[in-house]
Amino acid sequence: MQGSLFQRIKRLTGKAVGDFNLIEEGDRIAVGVSGGKDSYTLLHVLDALRRRAPIKYELVAVNVDSGFPGFRKEVVEKHLADHGFEYRVESTNCYEIIEEKRKPGTSYCSFCARLRRGVLYTLADELGCNKIALGHHLDDFIETLLLNQFYVGSLKAMSPKLAADNGRHTVIRPLVYVEEGEIIRFSREQQFPIVCCACPVCGEVDQKRQRMKGLIRELATENRHLKKSMLTALGNVQPRHLLDKNLTDFDLGLP
């Protein structure tokens, strides 16, 4: 793969890998590939970096087929095979479980995401992978920051590198510096075979996230460095100027 956009995405991803020490010698990384633009981009960029890296690491593309009727896993599988990736496409009955066990009124997505994450961890174990790479990009990080502030009452976003709850894997997000717009353009340029997850809520607009996107877009017309500033803020936390009693000692003992 060539082109200045690819070079830019590769450079930004390489910088994130270096800044957060995302990849180390001997890593075997399960790359979650959903069939969407972000995960295809992640896989191809990590593969390009791997070929020129001074350290050795391995990639395994992993697709979790949740069993939603109409999911075209063969399209994803063909792409992975055509490009010579080591891969695993896993068929599951997540759909049945969701339909059966989800309590009415609870979020379809969070139940689904929990199940899929569990499958991904199990597969990572089976495939001998110590890390799991996910395709979240810069916009995901800052939108999540705003969503949590506005609707959850918490000052948090995502981590580029996080120990999984099971203590065995590390989840990494190497596209943290790459904007969604760049991924969309790159994905179109490469004509990646995008497939829809085919779930019942696929295509439904997440209204809150769309509002955050709109807000960021609007503010960015006045300040083109806005996204970068928000991301920088995530790495520049000043607990003394916040209200968290666990982080700051408010008992200053003043008269």
Q: Which of 23, 31, 33, 112 binds ligand SF4 (CB under 6 A)?
A: 112
Stretch that binds ligand SF4, among 4-12, 18-26, 109-117, 161-169 (CB under 6 A): 109-117
Cβ pair 49, 15 in contact under 8 A: no
HEC assignment per residue over 61-81: EEEEECCCCCCCHHHHHHHHH
Using rule CB under 6 A, residue 199 touches ligand SF4: yes
Q: How many Cα neighbours within 13 Å face the side chain of 192?
A: 24
For ligand SF4, which stretch binds (CB under 6 A), given 10-18, 79-87, 172-180, 198-206?
A: 198-206
- Return the range that interacts with ligand SF4 (CB under 6 A); candidates 23-31, 38-46, 152-160, 195-203: 195-203
Query: Chain centroid to CA 72: how far?
Result: 21
Among 75, 152, 163, 202, the residue binding ligand SF4 under the rule CB under 6 A is 202
Residues near 175 by beta carbon (within 8 Å), at least 6 away in sequence:
9, 12, 13, 16, 38, 41, 42, 45, 135, 136, 137, 138, 183
CB of 97 to ligand SF4, least distance (A): 12
Binding mask 143-182 for ligand SF4 (x = CB under 6 A): ----------------------------------------
> Within 13 Å, how many C-alpha atoms sit on residue 82's CB side?
9
Q: How far is the CB of 115 from ligand SF4 (least distance, A)?
A: 8
Position among 75, 81, 163, 201 found at the interface with ligand SF4 (CB under 6 A)? 201
Count Cβ atoms below 10 Å from residue 156 Cβ, excluding itself: 12
CA dihedral 145, 151, 155, 160 (to 10 degrees): -30
How many residues touch ligand SF4 (CB under 6 A)? 8
Closest to ligand SF4 by CB, 57 vs 108, is 108
Binding part of the chain for ligand SF4, among 57-65, 105-113, 120-128, 158-166 by CB under 6 A, reads 105-113
H or E segment and range at residue 163: strand 161-163
Go through the chain and tell me how many residues it has.
Answer: 255
Stretch that binds ligand SF4, among 49-57, 172-180, 196-204, 228-236 (CB under 6 A): 196-204
Report the interface residues with ligand SF4, using CB under 6 A: 108-109, 112-113, 197, 199, 201-202
